[in-house]
Structure 1
Amino acid sequence: MATSSPGRPRDEAIDRAVLGATVELLDEVGYQRLTISAVAARAGATKPALYRRWPSRERLVIAALHRELRTIRAPDTACTLCDLHESIGLFAHAFGNRYVTVLGPLLADCAGDDDLRRAFIEGLFDPARDAVRHTLVNAVERGDLRDDLDLDLTVDMLGAIPHYRAIFGEVPLGSDDIERAVVTLLRGIAVDYEALVAHSRQIDDAPATHDRHLPLQAST
């Protein structure tokens, strides 16, 4: 995500300050009004120090947002309904309200450059995709999902719902929307959908730690 001059030791404190300042300014003024000068001033650094590490504003913003996504972990509760619910939520909440103010204009700036576009996808979307793919693999191995499941296509389907709603929808994707999406998807890819619903209800009724799971209701 970042570059440095050969032989020059990296000062991680500067990295942290600059990336943190970048995120703060993105939330305050958005991507289009963000400047390298403003980031340098906020971080107490110099423009040359920034350009030694990130040769462009696009690279800097990608690195700053990627730093926030490093902690993404695959949902793994052994409850497929719970995990898929959290997977869509993971996509939905990865960027908060930055879709319009940051991601849209950033992608527009990266679209014409293959290297930048690749960095954009690998840095900002692959972390969530990889986590959700791991969740699906676990569900297939448990026998909950069909063993002929197209994993990459299913990940795309899970991610498309929150991304589309965030960019084009009138209201953000809510928990009820996620619940309906999981039900619709599982009816096509589950080995035994009703068994997954029953298992989800058992977990919800038990004094366990699945406090973020909202029980799904079987449709009639």
Structure 2
Amino acid sequence: MTESRCPTAGGGRRGRPRSTRSHAAVLAATMKVLSEVGYVALRVDAVAACAGVSRATIYRWWPSKASLVVEALDRVIPTTVPLPTGDTRADVRAVVQATLDNYIRTPFGANLAAIASDAVGDPDATARLVDLFGPRRAADASVLLAGAGRGDLPHDVDVHLLLDIVMGTLVFRQLVGVPSDDYTVDQLTNLIVDGAAPRQPPTPPQPIKAAHP
């Protein structure tokens, strides 16, 4: 397969502001370098070279590597959830599955521990993470509230805590190298819809192999 080329800030449609082209090129270059070397080994100099901008340009827009990577990920992680069907169990399962697919089985999930570590004590990166999750969680919450409106979930259900449980479970398993599969999604769905305590899978999942050293 042919290696993808670096997106540079040059070219583009006549009349399009260079700053807009540069901004887009930096975010695209960030995703390219991230996919090649991972977050820990990612260097702002490499992103700048790939995007065809200066290192100073990047730091003028993003105060840290974590801020840069979070915004780049925000551009590629889907913002929508599956359309509700009116079947609460199916809709809740779709929310859990989308959380797994959008956050864990993506470059975000593969680099989650390192990004989270850098974001601690970094107000800008933390704010960008809040912006990344906010609209997506609101969409997920609306699905759960619709189930409550049909009487399938308690009317006073704490949807945000339920979403924390889903995300926390999937993130923890990612961090300790335990894969999440269809059985995991089903168990979380049953926990939310039925209040059923999760049961051990019949076959233990195999550990996840690290994407990057």
Give the counterpart of 2:184 among 177, 194, 201: 177
Give the counterpart of 1:107 among 101, 113, 116: 116
Question: Which residue in the other structure is 1:65 paired with?
Answer: 73
Could you tell me how far apart the structure 2 residues matched to 1:10 and 1:51 are?
17
Secondary structure of the corresponding residue to residue 76 of structure 1: coil
Could you tell me how far apart the structure 1 residues matched to 2:125 and 2:72 are?
16
Could you tell me how far apart the structure 2 residues matched to 1:17 and 1:101 are?
23
Deviating beyond 6 angstroms after TM superposition, the runs of 4 or more aligned structure 1 residues are none
Offset at residue 20 of structure 1 (A): 1.1
Give the counterpart of 1:12 among 20, 24, 33: 20
TM-score normalised by the chain length of structure 1 = 0.72
Is residue 27 from structure 1 mapped to residue 32 from structure 2 by the alignment? no
TM-score normalised by the chain length of structure 2 = 0.74
Contact kept in structure 2, 1:72 and 1:131, CA below 8 Å: yes
Question: Which residue in the other structure is 1:41 paired with?
Answer: 49
Secondary structure of the corresponding residue to residue 195 of structure 2: helix
Is residue 118 from structure 1 mapped to residue 126 from structure 2 by the alignment? yes
Could you tell me how far apart the structure 2 residues matched to 1:155 and 1:53 are?
32
Could you tell me how far apart the structure 1 residues matched to 2:59 and 2:93 are?
41
Deviation larger for 174-183 or 27-36:
174-183
Percent identity reads: 31
Contact kept in structure 1, 2:28 and 2:72, CA below 8 Å: yes
Offset at residue 123 of structure 1 (A): 3.4
Could you tell me how far apart the structure 2 residues matched to 1:100 and 1:138 are?
28
Secondary structure of the corresponding residue to residue 30 of structure 1: helix
Question: Which residue in the other structure is 2:63 paired with?
Answer: 55
Judging changes above 3 Å, is the alpha-carbon distance between structure 1 residues 27 and 161 closer, same or farther for their aligned structure 2 residues? same
Question: Which residue in the other structure is 2:194 paired with?
Answer: 187
Contact kept in structure 2, 1:62 and 1:119, CA below 8 Å: no
Offset at residue 91 of structure 1 (A): 1.5
Could you tell me how far apart the structure 2 residues matched to 1:69 and 1:97 are?
8
Offset at residue 180 of structure 1 (A): 2.4
One-letter identity of the residue aligned with 2:185: I
Judging changes above 3 Å, is the alpha-carbon distance between structure 1 residues 74 and 130 closer, same or farther for their aligned structure 2 residues? farther
Contact kept in structure 2, 1:75 and 1:87, CA below 8 Å: no
Contact kept in structure 2, 1:140 and 1:146, CA below 8 Å: yes
Contact kept in structure 2, 1:107 and 1:117, CA below 8 Å: no
One-letter identity of the residue aligned with 1:184: L
Offset at residue 97 of structure 1 (A): 4.8
Q: Which has the higher contact order (CA 8 A, sep 6+)?
A: 1
Secondary structure of the corresponding residue to residue 32 of structure 1: helix
Contact kept in structure 2, 1:88 and 1:162, CA below 8 Å: no
Secondary structure of the corresponding residue to residue 92 of structure 1: helix
Offset at residue 29 of structure 1 (A): 0.6
Secondary structure of the corresponding residue to residue 19 of structure 1: helix
Offset at residue 81 of structure 1 (A): 1.2
Alignment: residue pair count: 179
Contact kept in structure 2, 1:22 and 1:64, CA below 8 Å: yes
